[in-house]
């Protein structure tokens, strides 16, 4: 299932685009801040980015340029600006398409499908690439069950790997100890919920630069844990 990032400061427009894309079977994230959108685009393996041109602080041109410098995923730029010079500049920076607002959400979905299909044909990645999760300096190879921290391989037990992978694939979601125990060990498993705390500590020792000040796996006091991106 392809994952798409929408960077759009008009919430209503972003939500409409998301609704149409989700109906078509895509997983969609929204960011209304240009800086935050760039951070997510660079740290998460999205299949396509829908990028508004007119964003506060950091505009779509700069975001497009910085994404394209490290990733070759399709970028669909959208804008109310109709001038040819803006379209030429956007395409010149590496955008794959330029849509002028207002446009039909159905047309957006059609273009997204076309760009994803073309990209997959060119790269053949669905067949050849391992299933990976990349977040900042952390890389989890789900296919080979290997983990790399800043390009250095780190060894994990089966449960440690499963716990890290689950949290990393569901970023910014808070899980209680009870939820994690049920998900990873099963409701009928013999053991103590305290084992979750032990495994979280071990994960931090292996992936965090400073386990006492975690940058990946945060404790939300009174609620549980979340993987921060």
Q: How many domains does the chain have?
A: 2
Query: Based on the domain organization, do 95 and 161 belong to the same domain?
Result: no
Say what the pTM is: 0.55
Burial class (CB in 10 A: 0-12, 13-18, 19+), 56: exposed
pLDDT of residue 190: 52
> Which of 228, 226, 227, 213 lies closest to 176 in space, CA to CA?
226
pLDDT of residue 63: 92
Query: Based on the domain organization, do 86 and 136 belong to the same domain?
Result: no
Query: Based on the domain organization, do 119 and 170 belong to the same domain?
Result: no
Query: Based on the domain organization, do 165 and 218 belong to the same domain?
Result: yes
Helix and strand element counts for the chain (H, E): 9, 11
Query: Based on the domain organization, do 104 and 149 belong to the same domain?
Result: no
Burial class (CB in 10 A: 0-12, 13-18, 19+), 162: middle
Task: List the domain range (segments joined by +) for residue 93.
Answer: 3-123
CATH code, 201: 1.10.10.10
pLDDT by residue for the chain (229 residues), tens only, comes to 789 999 998 999 999 999 999 999 999 999 998 899 999 999 988 999 999 988 888 888 999 999 988 888 899 999 887 777 877 878 887 888 989 888 888 999 999 999 998 888 776 654 445 688 889 889 999 888 899 999 899 999 988 999 999 999 999 999 999 999 888 877 554 567 888 999 999 999 999 999 999 999 999 998 999 999 8
Query: Based on the domain organization, do 59 and 166 belong to the same domain?
Result: no
């Amino acid at each position: 299932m392809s994952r798409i990032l929408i960077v759009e400061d008009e919430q209503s427009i972003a939500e409409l685009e998301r609704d149409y894309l989700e109906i078509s079977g895509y997983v969609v994230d929204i960011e209304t801040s240009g800086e935050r959108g760039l951070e997510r685009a660079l740290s998460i393996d999205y299949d396509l980015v829908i990028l508004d041109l007119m964003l506060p602080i950091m505009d779509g041109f700069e975001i497009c340029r910085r994404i394209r410098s490290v990733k070759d995923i399709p970028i669909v730029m959208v804008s109310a600006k109709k001038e040819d010079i803006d379209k030429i500049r956007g395409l010149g920076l590496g955008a794959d398409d330029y849509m002028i607002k207002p446009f039909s959400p159905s047309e957006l979905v059609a273009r997204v499908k076309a760009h994803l299909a073309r990209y997959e044909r060119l790269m053949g990645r669905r067949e050849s690439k391992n299933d990976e999760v990349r977040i900042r300096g952390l890389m989890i190879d789900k296919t080979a069950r290997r983990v790399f921290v800043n390009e250095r391989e780190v060894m994990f037990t089966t449960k440690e790997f499963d716990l890290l992978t689950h949290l990393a694939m569901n970023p910014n979601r808070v899980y209680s100890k009870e939820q994690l125990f049920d998900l990873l060990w099963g409701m009928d498993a013999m053991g103590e919920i305290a084992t979750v705390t032990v495994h979280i500590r071990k994960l931090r020792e292996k992936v965090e630069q400073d386990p006492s000040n975690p940058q990946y796996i945060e404790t939300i006091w009174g609620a549980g844990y979340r993987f921060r991106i």
